[in-house]
Amino acid sequence: MRGRCRSSLAKWLPSSASAAVLETSGHPQDCQPTLPAFPNREPDNREPQQAGLYKMSTIVSPRRNAEPNEEIEARLQAQIEPFDSFWEAPEDIEKGYSSFHKFYEHNYLQYIPRQKDARILVTSCGPGYFVNLLSKSGYTDVLGIDSDASKVRWAETKGLNCRVARAFTFLASNRQPFDVIFVEQEINHLTKEEVREFLELCRRNLGDSGILIVHSLNGANPITGAEALAQNFDHFYTLTEYSLRQLLESCGFGDVRVVPLNLYVFYSNPLNYVALSIHALTSLICSLYFRLYGKTNRIFSKKIAAICRRKD
């Protein structure tokens, strides 16, 4: 750690019990009369701490080889859509509880341990879409955290166990290991330095053979791969099935499995089958083109997920 005290990595362990960490405030809008809505994405001319940007804080590195009481200043780079809040919900937030339930159930639920008392952390939980699925599936020890209080209030109205907290700060100070950590926001909102630090924090917060689930924009998709970088100012890179596995293995995880995230899971809609067929045909064509260039990519979905285990 010497020589890196001014790094932009988020080293989020408070230097004392009174260490100040700025709480991100919500930006309510008139989405529904009785519930707070997600922040809009219009330009915000308020002071940075009011606009939900990260303020410089004095904190201690959580690295094992760090000097005791070593203090640094750290600031996450994503400012428009901070990583530790959820930005993928539809305009109709209430409707999202149904649509995301189907999406998460199809793509993720099979990778969660069957033990209903498994201790599960959901970071960037937003209004609690994944927490809601786990709760309805019988899991009894689930915690969701999100830096935006307005989003967490939606979860609270559903009786979900969610609280306002920043991912780095929470993970750096937590002392009770989890069986599963599910990251509900794309890791592309972290810089390459930040994502490695975040994954290290996740690894330390998992019990023996604990499971980590993350997802990313898929750079191998010939249509959305490049566009994803230009479409969002806070997307710093894309990953492929190979580079996502490479990243996780380099951060101390094993048994890495990279899978496509299937968008076409709404089987009651006939158009779902049309879209699914087109995607299958497009993926086959892409696979053939990639092979012409000596590439072995097999996953061409818009997003990819990785399921892995802590490796001691």
In a domain, 239, yes or no: yes
Average pLDDT, the chain: 81
Q: Which domain holds residue 183?
A: 78-310
Q: Is the pLDDT of residue 36 over 70?
A: no
- Domain harbouring 191, CATH code: 3.40.50.150
What is the tens place of the pLDDT at every residue in 174-210?
999 999 999 999 999 999 999 999 999 999 999 999 9
- Lowest mean pLDDT, pick from 41-45, 77-81, 226-230, 294-298: 41-45
- Residue 19 has, within 13 A of its CA and on its CB side, a CA count of 20
pLDDT in tens, 243-295: 999 999 999 999 999 999 999 888 778 888 898 898 888 888 888 888 888 88
For residue 233, with 0-12 CB atoms within 10 Å meaning exposed, 13-18 middle and 19 or more buried, which class applies? exposed
Mean pLDDT of 11-20: 43
- Checking if the pLDDT of 88 tops 70, the result is yes
Is 244 a domain residue?
A: yes
The two structure tokens encoding residue 64: 């094992």
pLDDT at 75: 67
Domains held by the chain: number: 1
Counting beta carbons within 10 angstroms of the beta carbon of residue 158, is it exposed (0 to 12), middle (13 to 18) or buried (19 or more)?
Answer: middle
Instruction: Assess if residue 101 is contained within a domain.
Output: yes
Look at residue 45 and tell me if it is in a domain.
Answer: no
Higher pLDDT, 70 or 13: 13
- The answer to whether residue 156 sits within a structural domain is yes
Of 162, 156, 73, 67, which Cα lies nearest the Cα of 124? Answer: 162
